Amino acid sequence: MIPQFYLITPLIDDALAFRAKLEPVLSTGAIDVLHARFAAKNDAELKGPAAALSSVVQEAGTALVIDMPEDSRLVARLGLDGVHVSKPGKALDEAISSLKPDRIVGIGGLKARHDAMEAGEKDVDYVMFGEPRADGSIPPLAQTVERAEWWATIFTLPCVAYAESLEAVTALAGTGAEFIALGPWVFETPDPAETVAEARRLAKARVLSLAEPG
């Protein structure tokens, strides 16, 4: 199975300026889910930027999720596809109760296998492993590979494995994870669209190599 791609944006201050950077990336057809992160300090500031991106993202056939807002009802009002919750707890329970089954609810910040299994027992759409921590540090790639392989082998609920670089894509593509997450680093490369296209090529090559006899 060739994994799909989940793209996490940097914090967006100017949605219209970022839209110009994003459109070529979406045109690759490689991004299945976009996790748009905004610099807005509250829901009132979030409305305009989120609306400015939603049409171009969804027209590309890409699902648009955002960080859990103060009022979860905002997601439906703006016609967004769902939310990503940064850690287990009250916010996750609120997201599930208010947004399911019509919207996507994903969960990250899973520090241990037990946390992942507990989250997986709830009505979530995916669990994420290996994403940057609150302090900006990133778990070792070997840990993310191990966690994604473990999950993909045992559970049917999709998992998202975070790639901190293009080099990490090859390793993660062999885990069986349904999604590989590409981070804000994509937009720091000279050609983000080409970077995403290359990530897809690497993932496909890895999966096909594993399927070869012998």
pLDDT tens, residue by residue, 56-79: 999 999 999 999 999 998 999 999
Q: Shortest CA distance to 8 belongs to which of 185, 201, 188?
A: 185
Residue type, 164: E
CATH of domain 4-209: 3.20.20.70
50: confidence class by pLDDT, cuts 50, 70, 90: very high
**Whole-structure pTM value:** 0.96
- The token pair at 123 is 């009505």
213: confidence class by pLDDT, cuts 50, 70, 90: confident
Which residue ranges make up each domain of the chain?
4-209
- Give one DSSP letter per residue of 84-132, joined into a string: EESSSSHHHHHHHHHHTTTSEEEE----SHHHHHHHHTSS-SEEEES--
Mean pLDDT over 134-155 rounds to: 95
For residue 43, CA distances in Å to 14, 180, 210 come to 16, 29, 46
211: confidence class by pLDDT, cuts 50, 70, 90: confident
pLDDT of 214 higher than 70: no
Strands 126-129 vs 179-182: parallel, antiparallel or unpaired: unpaired
pLDDT of 4 higher than 90: yes
Residue type, 35: H
